[in-house]
Amino acid sequence: MTTVTQIGTPRRWSMLALGVFAQASSAVMTNGAPFLLPALTQRGLSLATAGLLVAMPLAGLCCTLIAWGWIVDHAGERAALVAGPAIMCAAGVAAATVTNYVALGALLFLAGAGAGSTNGASGRVIVGWFPPNRRGLAMGIRQTAQPLGVAVGAMTIPAVAAAHGFSTAVLVPAIMAGVAAVGCLAGIVDPPRPESARGAGRPVNPYRGDSTLWRIHGVSILLVVPQATIWTFGLLWLHREVGMSLAAAGAVVTGTQILGAAGRIGAGVWSDKVGSRLGPLRTVAIAAVISMAALAVAAWAHQWWAAIPILVAASVITVADNGLAFTAVAEIAGPFWSGRGLGIQNTGQNLASAAVAPVFGALIAAAGFPIVYALVALVALAAVPLVPTGSVPLAATGSR
């Protein structure tokens, strides 16, 4: 078995890079699908129906995250990081060959199921190979995969769909996933787990007798609602309400995702420096409330000069919590439960994200964007008192 001391710094960072790429390919599939909403609505589908179709990858991901976590805990990170992207690649290629919406939805669901493998596995590689005082930075970099994946989707999927059709656009994440599967097969090494803990009997279930993990999961579910709302409807809002062209709106969304990626790294560094994931998490939750409430007011008043910068700020703020919560869950759950813990974490988040497109699509049609933005601010407000008030010593959580 390879030990921590046998893996040098360059190899750790190369594995982090592979994990980021694998996760980015999953993000293009699961979070990039909403960029097909304009193409679908132009074909005559209602916004609610089109939203349901583009939510299929997230639905598939939600149904398999805990199962993938079990695979990570029992079969290792490398196996999950190879098998999942391979499934996503095969399903994506198949989706490019169908025209029936039911068949397309089923294949998108299967692609999302494969995409679920990368979430917990790439996080476990980081917690396993990086020391506690560098995990926040490393996990922040890993968490940039999602906004970068959304940025790739914003740059490529609408353009490919417009030029070559809906089905061809699905090949973008499928090809990325195929490359990720090959790269992880060659470059990922499973991090070691303490044999003493394994030999002492069944690892202690960190969910028994302690509400900390459940509270973090709840916070993350609530805070993913503003994030998913902006990601799902930001492009449509800029195009329909503000009057931007699709190209200009796509450029704005791409820019916000790049800034959001930088914000996640900054949040991770911040947590390393203060020695806490939960304190920064509470601050981010408060900032999410303020930014979404401000966006609601600006959108209601049609003050686009203010609403657009606020949208950019909210896009950065609402993704900053992900890495903090993700790292906290992995550290608290420990090396024998972190796969399932991260699976539970992401299942809750992605169930909420999957519901955003059809539910809020219907609400936007009925009440408009400002009301929805105000409602989202209230959802974020509910997360603030739920953040655990204690502090978990970083060196004492799942370290080796």
CATH number, residue 65: 1.20.1250.20
391 confidence band (pLDDT: 50, 70, 90): low
The reported pTM is 0.71
Work out whether the CA dihedral 276, 278, 279, 284 comes out positive or negative: positive
Helices (H), 188-245: 195-199, 212-237
Q: Please tell me the predicted confidence (pLDDT) of residue 196.
A: 45
Domain count, the chain: 2
Q: Does any domain span residue 205?
A: no
Q: Does any domain span residue 33?
A: yes
Q: Does any domain span residue 395?
A: no
Q: Is the pLDDT of residue 396 over 80?
A: no
Work out whether the CA dihedral 289, 132, 204, 389 comes out positive or negative: negative
Q: Using an 8 Å Cβ cutoff, are 154 and 235 in contact?
A: yes
Coil, strand or helix at 366: helix
Q: Does 232 share its domain with 159?
A: no
Q: Which residue has the tokens 């939203």?
A: 51
Nearest to 263 by CA among 314, 311, 327, 320: 320
Q: Does 245 share its domain with 177?
A: no
Q: Please tell me the predicted confidence (pLDDT) of residue 400.
A: 34
Most confident of 31-45, 101-115, 135-149, 336-350: 101-115
Per-residue pLDDT, averaged over 96-105, amounts to: 81
Q: Does 32 share its domain with 128?
A: yes
Q: Please tell me the predicted confidence (pLDDT) of residue 395.
A: 43
- In tens, the pLDDT along 25-41 reads 998 988 777 777 777 77
Concatenated DSSP letters for 110-125? HHHHHHTHHHHHHHHH
Q: Does 169 share its domain with 252?
A: no
Q: Does 231 share its domain with 366?
A: yes
The residue range of the domain holding 173 is 9-187
Q: Does 127 share its domain with 256?
A: no
- Alpha-carbon distance of 331 to 340, in angstroms, equals 12
Q: Please tell me the predicted confidence (pLDDT) of residue 195.
A: 58
Q: Does 23 share its domain with 158?
A: yes
Q: Does any domain span residue 192?
A: no
User: Taking all residues of the chain, what is their mean pLDDT, rounded to a whole number?
Assistant: 83
